[in-house]
Amino acid sequence: MFIVAIALSMLVPFLFGYLIDNIILRGENSNLLIWFGIALMLSIVSSITSFYFMSFATTKKSIKNSAKLSINSVSQMLKMPIPLFSKRKNLII
């Protein structure tokens, strides 16, 4: 999915360059609206995929990382010997 987002972000400037060099400068204005529609759709899809990786994917990864860190810290606390906790009666947090 990440490769698709990169390819789409690179395809939009290439398509606009092709549109300017081969369609507009040659004077072929009959298909101009179709080419602009294709370029617009590609830019919308590219922005959606980029937004996904900037927001949802990073949030999902951070939640998974936080859960793993919590599980790891609790498991290490449970491995500590009990006399370590019984020596201190007044625990200050």
Has residue 26 been placed in a domain? yes
pLDDT (tens digit per residue) in 5-59: 788 888 888 888 888 888 888 887 788 888 888 888 988 988 888 888 778 878 8
For residue 85, pLDDT over 70 is answered with: no
> In the chain, how long is the greatest CA-to-CA distance?
87
Has residue 81 been placed in a domain? no
**Number of domains within the chain:** 1
The range of the structural domain enclosing residue 58 comes to: 2-68
**Spatial separation of the C-alpha atoms in residues 76 and 84, rounded to whole Å:** 13
Which pTM was predicted? 0.53
For residue 90, pLDDT over 70 is answered with: no
